[in-house]
Amino acid sequence: MDWGNFAQQLVNGLSLGAIYALIALGYTMVYGVLRFINFAHGDVFMIGAFAGLYINRWLKPFFTGLPEALSTAVVLLLSMGACACLGVLIEKLAYKPLRNRSRLTVLITAIGVSLFLSYSAQLIFGAAPKGFPNLFNSTTHDLPGGASATTEQFVVLGVTVLLLAALRWIVLGTRMGLAMRALSNNPAAASLMGVNTDAVISFTFALGSALAAAAGIFFAMLYQAIDPFMGILPGIKAFVAAVLGGIGSLPGAALGGVLIGLIETLVVGYSQDIGIPSGYRDAVAFVLLILILLFKPAGLLGKSEREKV
Amino acid sequence: MLEIRDLVVGYGEITALHGISLDIPRGRIVTLIGANGAGKSSTLRAISGLVKARSGSIVFEGENVTRLPAHKIVGRGLAQSPEGRMVFSNLTVLENLRMGAHLRRDKAGISADLDHVFALFPRLKERLQQAAGTLSGGEQQMLAIGRALMSRPKCLLLDEPSLGIAPLLVRSIFDRIVQINQELGLTILLVEQNANLALKISHSGYVLETGRVILEGEAAILRNDPGVRAAYLGEA
């Protein structure tokens, strides 16, 4: 066994998993408050990457002399803010008018929104992949055991941990977070407490979309190319991650994302040893989805929920 | 304090309330009795804004609240402990109580009211960090009432507080309701299937049948009404 190679696969898998985790959190939060899967979420991830590209390009002249950490943070935060607005807008325009319709109607609308965003992005940015610039000077760092990690990977992992901690604080420690959890548990009772359902739903979309934007920029940093359809596969894999962790569960989404990232990377890294050609990497998540739905439909950390009559 | 005039409520094709009028005077306990499906819960749901009235009016302290969205009603001083209790099952007891105070910012007042609720229902204090879904039915009812009190309401709407609760606990919960009325001075609109118990603690009452008020009056008079005795108090 080549432990150096294994450690390397873990590093790569963790950084990919961090990205899936950030996207999966948005799926699971929106599911928590509205009980539907926002299939346009992967496209918000894509818009996040493009926002990062253009915001960096426009602000470049102002960045001279600034530390790279600061300019990167500015690009990241502005893109997250832009996508938070986009998420709120999507909800207000597309989903809110359907609040009292069947969930299937909303689900199909979400697919429509997804296509609308992808093709609008194609119209605006062009279909050809665009290179994503280095936001900071990157080197390769040697890790114990013969593996190595790029500065990007460190940034992705470190900032993801920060974002997860911030999210945890918002959900468990603030009045808005408590209202989110109450709304998710019992919408009618929440409005009896004075919770403005629309405001909490907007906030949830803003939060989820901001995390998706961060994921989009991280993805662009690691793979250095972005295109209007880059959101489709990571979007669906993150959805699988949310289901794997237990849809509606925030720790579940984070865990599911990391697991999907690790498993996908390991299958590709050891494709010759286990006899699965690496071209099947995108199938891994879907095989997992089928297995979860067959054997543990509530997910790893999810609670099975009885429909109320 | 709360005046309801010709209230009509319906769900799709079905009309649940065919124009009822109620008066709930300040400081009183008024009860709404009637069989299943008589429209008792629909009345409370309409007052709290969970269903919209088709016509008629709901006036609370001189303000017409008929068209206010549900989340604004509680801010006016009308809190409800709903049918089936509807506690937030995966939040802790403390978080449930904090949700009751969702619209309030006065930290000192909130913690004083928490102490009030614990004085009324000491059992809740023992269960503070427990998920509300793991409480017994009676404890969940205490929590639902306590949660409603946390908004510091002027008028409390109670929907079937005796439903699915051990008889011994029902007595104690009804004692607390009287205490809330007398000590905290809250006006209470009580919906109950247990007519006997409800009329015992109320000042006045209304009898509902298939969405209409068929009888109203002082509780003592209703209790002695032969029709009420036959239909709701289990006497032939």
pLDDT per position as a tens digit, A241-257? 999 999 989 999 999 99
Q: How big, in percent rounded to 5, are the helix, strand and coil portions of chain B? A: 40, 30, 30
Residue at A257 is within a domain: no
Residue at A242 is within a domain: no
User: pLDDT tens digit string along B81-126?
Assistant: 999 999 999 999 999 999 999 999 999 999 999 999 999 999 999 9
Q: Quick one: pLDDT band at residue B234, thresholds 50, 70, 90?
A: low
Q: Which of A31, A39, A16, A26 is nearest to A236 (CA)?
A: A39
In this predicted structure, what is the pLDDT of residue A116? 97
**Number of residues in chain A:** 309
CA atoms within 13 A on the CB side of B33: 29
**Which residue has 């969205």 as its token pair?**
B69
In this predicted structure, what is the pLDDT of residue B50? 93
Residue at A205 is within a domain: yes
User: Does B209 score more than 80 pLDDT?
Assistant: yes
Residue at A1 is within a domain: no
Mutate to test the interface with A, among B102, B103, B155 (most CBs of A within 10 A): B102
CB B6 within 8 A of CB B56: yes
CB-based contact, A197 to chain B, within 8 Å: yes
Percentage of chain B exceeding pLDDT 90: 78
Pick B74's closest partner by Cβ from A178, A182, A193.
A193
Extended strands (E) in A108-226? 130-131, 140-142, 148-150, 225-226
User: Does B34 score more than 50 pLDDT?
Assistant: yes
Q: What chain A residue is nearest to B83 in terms of C-alpha separation?
A: A189
Q: Chains A and B: how many Cβ contacts under 8 Å?
A: 70
User: Does B189 score more than 90 pLDDT?
Assistant: yes
Calculate mean pLDDT across residues B1-19. Answer: 92
What's phi and psi for B52, nearest 5 deg? Answer: -90, 140
In this predicted structure, what is the pLDDT of residue A304? 62
Dihedral-angle region of residue B36 (phi above 0 means left; psi in -120 to 50 means alpha; beta otherwise): beta
Residue at A296 is within a domain: no
CB contact under 8 A, A192 and B91: no
* Domains annotated on chain B, with CATH: 2-232 (3.40.50.300)
Q: How many domains does chain A have?
A: 1
Q: How far is B122 from chain A (nearest CA, A)?
A: 22
**Number of residues in chain B:** 236
CB contact under 8 A, B151 and A178: no
CB contact under 8 A, A193 and B80: no
CB contact under 8 A, B87 and A179: no
Spell B210-221 as b/e; 16+ CB within 10 A means b.
ebebebbeebee
Pick B82's closest partner by Cβ from A192, A194, A303.
A192
Range of the domain at A181: 7-134+149-229
Instruction: Between B226 and A252, name the one with better pLDDT.
Output: A252
In this predicted structure, what is the pLDDT of residue A307? 45
Q: How far apart are CA A127 and CA A119, in angstroms?
A: 9
CB A242 within 8 A of CB A252: yes
CB contact under 8 A, A185 and B98: no
- What residues of chain B have any CB closer than 8 angstroms to a CB in chain A? 48-50, 69-72, 74-75, 79-80, 82, 86-91, 95, 98-100, 102-103, 147-148, 151
In this predicted structure, what is the pLDDT of residue B13? 87
Q: How far apart are CA A109 and CA A114, in angstroms?
A: 9
In this predicted structure, what is the pLDDT of residue B226? 83
Residue at A202 is within a domain: yes
In this predicted structure, what is the pLDDT of residue B37? 84
Residue at A167 is within a domain: yes
ipTM of the complex: 0.91
CB contact under 8 A, B99 and A185: no
Calculate mean pLDDT across residues B214-228. Answer: 88
In this predicted structure, what is the pLDDT of residue A143? 85
In this predicted structure, what is the pLDDT of residue A5? 86
CB B197 within 8 A of CB B167: no
Per-residue pLDDT of chain A (309 residues; tens, 9 = 90+): 688 888 999 999 999 999 999 999 999 999 999 999 999 999 999 999 999 999 999 999 998 888 999 999 999 999 999 999 999 999 999 999 999 899 899 999 999 999 999 999 999 999 999 999 999 988 999 888 788 999 999 999 999 999 999 999 999 999 999 999 999 999 999 999 999 999 999 999 999 999 999 999 999 999 999 999 999 999 999 999 999 999 989 999 999 999 999 999 999 989 888 888 888 888 988 998 999 999 988 999 887 655 443
Q: CA B175 → CA A79, B27, B145, B150, B191, distances in Å?
A: 58, 16, 13, 19, 16
